[in-house]
């Protein structure tokens, strides 16, 4: 099974990339760079706030089963054309994963890609539901129970932390100097994701 990031990246080229670029008012090169920066941060924040596996995987699995089965990715063009859906679902996911840090993370994505902060924030609202959808799809296709989901999350975190671009983000977002930006993002959203998942 391919990684979540690889699977998403493969879907975000060509016409999908151009559609996103038009929507956020940027060229394809800048948008592609911003996507490469934003996806690991969104997935990493989600993994960290769900406990990186373990008990948090149970709550995340319930949310995936209820609302994120991966079908969004089967009609990606429709989702990319629906600004209201992006704002509602993407904004909600980002708020609960990053807490008050979502604007700070968007600023780091903007700085790395050359987008303005508004475009970076809009892009992240597009990407967040796609990350959840891909998680749900891989859970369903792999017939993963919560233990399997936990293993998947742990594997994804190792891949994220090994990515070269994460070094720059760690420096930007690592407020306590421990070398892990994901820990600091998690502190910003601590408790918020759990409350969000319990309401789903």
Tell me the per-residue pLDDT of 100-133, one tens digit each, with 9 for 90 and over. 777 888 888 898 889 999 999 999 999 999 999 9
Distances (CA, A) of 30 to 15, 55, 78, 80, 148: 15, 38, 23, 18, 36
Give the domain extent around 162: 4-199
Nearest to 53 by CA among 165, 141, 158: 158
Distances (CA, A) of 56 to 18, 119, 151, 194: 36, 31, 12, 8
Per residue in 139-195, pLDDT tens?
A: 888 898 888 888 888 888 887 777 665 555 555 444 444 444 455 544 443 333 333
Query: Which DSSP string do the residues of 128-146 spell out, in sequence order?
Result: HHHHHHHHHHHHHHTT--H
Could you list the beta-strand ranges (E) of the chain: none
Count of domains in the chain? 1
Q: What 3-state class would DSSP assign to 11? A: helix
Which one-letter DSSP state was computed for residue 12?
A: S
Per residue in 89-100, pLDDT tens?
A: 898 888 877 877
Whether pTM > 0.85 for this model: the answer is: no
């Amino acid at each position: 099974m391919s990684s979540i990031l690889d699977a998403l990246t493969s879907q975000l080229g060509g016409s999908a990339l151009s559609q996103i670029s038009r929507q956020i008012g940027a060229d394809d090169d800048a948008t592609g760079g911003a996507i490469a920066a934003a996806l690991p941060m969104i997935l990493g924040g989600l993994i960290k706030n769900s406990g990186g596996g373990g008990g948090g995987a149970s709550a995340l699995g319930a949310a995936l089963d209820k609302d994120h089965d991966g079908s969004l990715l089967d009609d990606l063009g429709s989702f990319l054309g629906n600004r209201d859906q992006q704002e509602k679902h993407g904004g909600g996911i980002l708020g609960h994963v990053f807490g008050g840090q979502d604007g700070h993370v968007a600023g780091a994505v903007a700085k790395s890609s050359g987008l303005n902060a508004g475009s970076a924030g809009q892009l992240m609202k597009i990407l967040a539901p796609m990350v959840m959808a891909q998680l749900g799809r891989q859970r369903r296709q792999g017939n993963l129970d919560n233990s399997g989901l936990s293993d998947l999350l742990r594997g994804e975190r190792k891949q994220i932390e090994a990515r070269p671009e994460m070094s720059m983000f760690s420096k930007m977002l690592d407020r306590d100097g421990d070398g892990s930006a994901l820990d600091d993002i998690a502190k910003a959203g601590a408790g918020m994701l759990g409350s969000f998942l319990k309401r789903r």
